[in-house]
């Protein structure tokens, strides 16, 4: 883990440091960012070579940053703020792998197959001239169940499928492994090869597809001296139910030279930042990060909406709140507004959604409005409170294995139960004397009815009746045998 820590902070020499919300922020020299160390010709680049006029956002309330406010710390000139990852952050995890997984957006197949997750999203297939997108996000801090679970509001700019799939992503996220308070924080993410590798907020995983003998290194270059990733906004930077929502606008847009994907946020006086109203540069990702792949050119799909995911298949509970925790029919539901795709000149174009994905409609849902008649332009509302998956025992039978005449030692219990997701389920069998055993069965497929089995050796004769208790996530069911 110390090696990983050295890798993350290698060759950086902070000029100032300060605490924000129980984390340390270092102000590192602009030129010490990984991409600039190997490409010094880009050091003078702080803004796009030719500024384009992105569409103005009309929502008045803006999420507030901790930097740039009166009396708050600010990084010196020619430095950028970077959250420090400490040894304490790493040692909270069983291994380096679990640390890296804890800070990544949970998209297949980063953290295993079949993990419980839910989506409520809408998409448009883009025209060939598309060069970016903007979305204005209402900012909430939905409750998650387990520490490493995630709840995300984001946009995906993607191209390709399967092995050719590439993605640029941004929005806000709740992950209590990153921010213990459960407050949401801004993030960016990119993957050049279908989530086999990628980087989020300067933490990277996987190998470099351009050089498979080396690990992928961060190529995102931050140019803003006041925007901090993976750190919450201040207390007034969040929406409150019954009050007008608070927004943060993000955009990805390729510059007119076609060499960089610029990442921006929308600033307004309400942010408490020393900035003019309008789009402000956060940084850029060179198109070479996509190794000549499809996002070196144009995205073919814009997707917006919410995602929830469990960090581990053995975590109890289920998936927590999405959006604000309210369904899309609520006046307090999460919003994504002013959704537009951008051409090379930065002109906004109305999105007309061509598909949607709602994976657990009984738990989470969304409503999409395409067009510009609303003050919100094209927008979606989405969310839901939580998703608990129940266990229902259908039958419970016993068979003797070692000695069919007395069944003293090893028994096989056949358990049929309803279980909706591909996940582990654990069962405990006990008798009147307290003899018991724990067994589990990993299911496959999405069938509502599965048969699980448990074989174990008893330490003595079990006395009827037996009590069976099966548990999955935070839901359980019990049954007696014989009935």
Instruction: Tell me the CA distances in angstroms from 158 to 293, 352, 451, one per residue in order.
Output: 11, 16, 39
My answer on whether 75 and 160 are in the same domain is yes
Q: Check residue 306 and give its pLDDT.
A: 96
My answer on whether 139 and 204 are in the same domain is yes
More confident site: 269 or 253: 253
Structural domains in the chain (count): 2
User: What's the pLDDT tens digit per position in 117-134?
Assistant: 789 999 999 988 899 999
Task: Give the domain range for residue 283.
Answer: 2-383
Contact 338, 249 (CB under 8 A): yes
What is the rounded distance in angstroms from the CA atom of residue 84 to the CA atom of residue 14?
10
Overall average pLDDT of the 306-323 stretch: 76
Q: What is the mean pLDDT of the chain?
A: 79
My answer on whether 404 and 314 are in the same domain is no
What is the rounded distance in angstroms from the CA atom of residue 170 to the CA atom of residue 157?
9
My answer on whether 84 and 16 are in the same domain is yes
Residue 155 has pLDDT above 50, yes or no: yes
What is the rounded distance in angstroms from the CA atom of residue 150 to the CA atom of residue 322?
9
Overall average pLDDT of the 249-261 stretch: 95
DSSP states along 116-139: -EEEEEEEEEPPTT--EEEEEEEP
My answer on whether 337 and 213 are in the same domain is yes
Centre a 10 Å sphere on the Cβ of residue 388 and count the other Cβ atoms it contains.
Answer: 14
My answer on whether 376 and 415 are in the same domain is no
What is the pTM for the complete model shown? Answer: 0.78
Domain boundary among 383, 409, 430: 383
Contact 345, 52 (CB under 8 A): yes
User: What's the pLDDT tens digit per position in 57-77?
Assistant: 877 777 765 444 444 567 888
Q: Check residue 375 and give its pLDDT.
A: 82
My answer on whether 123 and 254 are in the same domain is yes
My answer on whether 28 and 106 are in the same domain is yes
More confident site: 404 or 335: 335
My answer on whether 44 and 157 are in the same domain is yes
Overall average pLDDT of the 128-141 stretch: 94
Domain boundary among 329, 354, 383: 383
My answer on whether 277 and 409 are in the same domain is no
User: For residue 108, what pLDDT band results from cuts at 50, 70 and 90?
Assistant: very low
User: What's the pLDDT tens digit per position in 194-228?
Assistant: 988 999 998 888 899 999 999 999 999 999 988 88
My answer on whether 306 and 332 are in the same domain is yes
Per DSSP bridges, beta strands 132-138 and 117-125 are: unpaired
My answer on whether 212 and 153 are in the same domain is yes
Overall average pLDDT of the 352-356 stretch: 93
More confident site: 191 or 443: 191
Overall average pLDDT of the 319-338 stretch: 94
Domain boundary among 365, 383, 401: 383
């Amino acid at each position: 883990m110390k090696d990983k820590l050295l890798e993350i902070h290698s060759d950086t020499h902070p000029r100032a440091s300060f605490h924000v919300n129980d984390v340390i922020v270092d102000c590192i020299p602009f030129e010490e960012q990984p991409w600039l160390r190997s490409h010094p010709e880009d050091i003078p680049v702080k803004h796009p070579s030719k500024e384009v006029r992105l569409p103005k956002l009309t929502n008045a309330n803006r999420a507030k940053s901790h930097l740039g406010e009166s009396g708050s710390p600010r990084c010196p000139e020619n430095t950028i703020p970077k959250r420090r990852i400490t040894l304490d952050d790493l040692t909270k995890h069983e291994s380096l792998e679990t640390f890296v997984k804890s800070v990544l957006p949970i998209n297949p197949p980063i953290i295993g197959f079949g993990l419980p997750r839910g989506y409520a999203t809408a998409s448009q297939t883009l025209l060939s001239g598309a060069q970016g997108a903007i979305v204005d996000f209402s900012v909430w801090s939905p409750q998650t169940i387990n520490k490493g679970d995630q709840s995300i509001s984001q946009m995906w700019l993607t191209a390709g499928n399967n092995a050719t799939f590439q993605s640029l992503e941004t929005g806000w996220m709740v992950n209590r492994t990153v921010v213990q308070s459960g407050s949401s924080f801004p993030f960016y993410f990119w993957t050049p090869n279908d989530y086999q590798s990628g980087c989020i907020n300067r933490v990277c995983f996987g190998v470099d597809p351009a050089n498979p003998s080396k690990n992928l290194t961060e190529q995102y270059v931050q140019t803003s001296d006041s925007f901090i990733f993976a750190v919450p906004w201040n207390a007034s930077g969040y929406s409150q139910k019954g009050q007008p929502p608070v927004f943060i606008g993000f955009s990805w847009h390729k510059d007119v030279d076609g060499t960089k994907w610029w990442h921006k946020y929308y600033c307004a006086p309400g942010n408490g930042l020393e900035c003019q109203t309008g789009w402000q540069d956060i940084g850029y990702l060179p198109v070479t990060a996509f190794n000549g792949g499809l996002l070196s050119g144009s995205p073919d799909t814009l997707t917006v909406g919410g995602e929830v995911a469990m960090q581990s298949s053995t975590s109890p509970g289920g998936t927590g709140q999405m959006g604000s925790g309210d369904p899309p029919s609520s006046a307090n539901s999460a919003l994504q507004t002013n959704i537009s795709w951008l051409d090379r000149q930065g002109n906004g174009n109305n999105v007309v959604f061509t598909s949607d994905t709602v994976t657990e409609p009984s738990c989470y849902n969304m409503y999409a409005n395409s067009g510009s008649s609303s003050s919100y332009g094209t927008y979606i509302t989405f969310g839901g409170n939580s998703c608990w998956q129940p266990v229902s025992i259908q039958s419970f039978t016993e068979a003797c294995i070692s000695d069919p005449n007395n069944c003293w030692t090893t028994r096989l219990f056949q358990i049929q139960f309803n279980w909706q997701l591909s996940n582990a389920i654990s069962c405990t069998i006990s008798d009147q004397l307290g003899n018991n055993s724990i067994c589990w069965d990993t299911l496959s497929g999405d069938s509502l009815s599965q048969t699980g089995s448990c074989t174990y050796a008893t330490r003595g004769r079990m006395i009827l009746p037996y009590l069976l208790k099966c548990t999955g996530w935070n839901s359980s069911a019990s049954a007696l045998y014989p009935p």
